[in-house]
């Protein structure tokens, strides 16, 4: 693992659990808007693990990668490192399983659900391709926490996402000189094709049937199409598009996916 690459020492189970637990504490502070002093956390971890700051930072990047796979937000200062091992996967599993309230708060932050208005979206990029596909242990972890199903079942999160996407579409068309079309963007009606959340338009006036997928995780968090969305995608591929909203509790970004299939996570 990362630490052995730095100083020849491997992480044991207890040490990994300490770093993962501390990572989750820091992440919870970020998501709830509380004060965070990363230097203090780093000093404490160096003391209790007797590891270098570089080794700890390396492991924190690997934690970000595991959390990304299960659709949770990560610390921006620790971009994902995809060369993590099975021991770290098990550590993340233990720590999240022992803290179901933390998992729920990260997936649906109370501060987000209590907002009076939907977040303002900015354009984001599709996720980069991971350096290597996850191993069998990581795949079992994804199946256990099933981020696509978790986000799909989070009705309040979905409503926030649809409201944000509606405003974003209206603003997009207004910025492109089509206020006439912006005024026609709306929530899908019972008379519209099943499988879309919004009805919008391209700049030329071509219809767009939009399915909105929302997560508090990053751009690589997996999502899943419903059976109705799959049918609509097959029936009207030129009109069907997914708006993938991510990091909605912080930066609130969106990218579009055309031709998305079930389980898709990239454009």
Residues 32 and 7 in one domain: yes
For residues 125 and 223, membership in a common domain is answered with yes
Min mean pLDDT across 112-116, 187-191, 209-213 is at 112-116
Do 82 and 171 lie in a common domain?
A: no
Please indicate, yes or no, whether residues 138 and 258 belong to a single structural domain of this protein.
Answer: yes
Domain housing 206 = 110-267
Q: How many structural domains is the chain composed of?
A: 2
Q: Please give the average per-residue pLDDT across 165-192, as a whole number.
A: 97
3-state secondary structure of 17: helix
The residues pairing with 201 across neighbouring beta strands, listed in sequence order, are 207
Q: At what angle do helices 38-49 and 53-69 cross, to 10 degrees?
A: 110
Question: What's the pLDDT at 127?
Answer: 80
Domain boundary among 84, 107, 130: 107
180 and 259 together in one domain: yes
Q: Is 63 in the same domain as 174?
A: no
Please say which residue of 107, 131, 147 terminates a domain: 107
**Average pLDDT score, the chain:** 90
Kindly report the pTM of this predicted structure. Answer: 0.87
- Position 132 scores a pLDDT of 63
74/120 same-domain check? no
Residues 74 and 63 in one domain: yes
Q: How far is CA 49 from CA 9, 86, 91, in A?
A: 12, 20, 15
N- to C-terminal Cα separation, the chain: 30
Residue 2: per-residue pLDDT: 43
Do residues 31 and 133 share a domain?
Answer: no
Q: Is the pLDDT of residue 42 over 90?
A: yes
Q: What is the pLDDT of residue 6?
A: 45
Q: Are residues 238 and 141 in the same domain?
A: yes
Cβ within 8 Å of residue 9, ≥6 positions away: 3, 51, 55
Same domain? For 123 and 147 the reply is yes
Domain end (from 53, 75, 107): 107
Q: Which of 26-40, 113-127, 145-159 has the lowest mean pLDDT?
A: 113-127
- DSSP for 119-158? PPPEE-PPPPPPSS---HHHHHHHHHH-HHHHHHH-HHHH
Q: Same structural domain for residues 131 and 79?
A: no
């Amino acid at each position: 693992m990362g630490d052995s690459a730095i100083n020849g020492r491997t992480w044991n189970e207890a040490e990994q659990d300490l770093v993962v637990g501390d990572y989750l504490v820091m992440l919870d502070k970020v998501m709830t808007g509380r004060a965070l002093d990363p230097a203090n956390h780093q000093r404490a971890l160096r003391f209790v693990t007797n590891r270098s700051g570089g080794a700890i930072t390396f492991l924190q990047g690997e934690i970000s990668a595991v959390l990304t796979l299960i659709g949770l937000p990560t610390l921006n200062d620790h971009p994902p490192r995809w060369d993590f091992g099975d021991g770290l996967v098990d550590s993340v599993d233990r720590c999240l399983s022992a803290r179901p309230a933390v998992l729920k708060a990260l997936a649906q932050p109370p501060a987000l659900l209590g907002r009076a208005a939907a977040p303002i979206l900015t354009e984001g990029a599709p996720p980069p391709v991971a350096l290597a596909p996850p191993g069998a242990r990581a795949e079992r972890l994804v199946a256990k926490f099933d981020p696509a199903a978790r986000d799909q079942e989070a009705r309040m999160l979905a409503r926030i996402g649809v409201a944000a996407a509606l405003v974003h579409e209206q603003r997009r068309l207004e910025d492109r000189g089509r206020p006439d079309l912006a005024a026609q963007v709306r929530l899908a009606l019972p008379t519209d094709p099943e499988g879309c959340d919004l009805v919008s338009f391209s700049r030329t006036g071509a219809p767009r049937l939009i399915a909105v997928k929302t997560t508090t995780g990053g751009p690589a968090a997996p999502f899943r199409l419903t059976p109705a969305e799959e049918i609509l995608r097959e029936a009207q591929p030129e009109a069907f598009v997914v708006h993938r909203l991510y990091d909605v509790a912080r930066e609130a970004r969106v990218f579009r996916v055309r031709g998305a299939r079930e389980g898709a996570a990239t454009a």
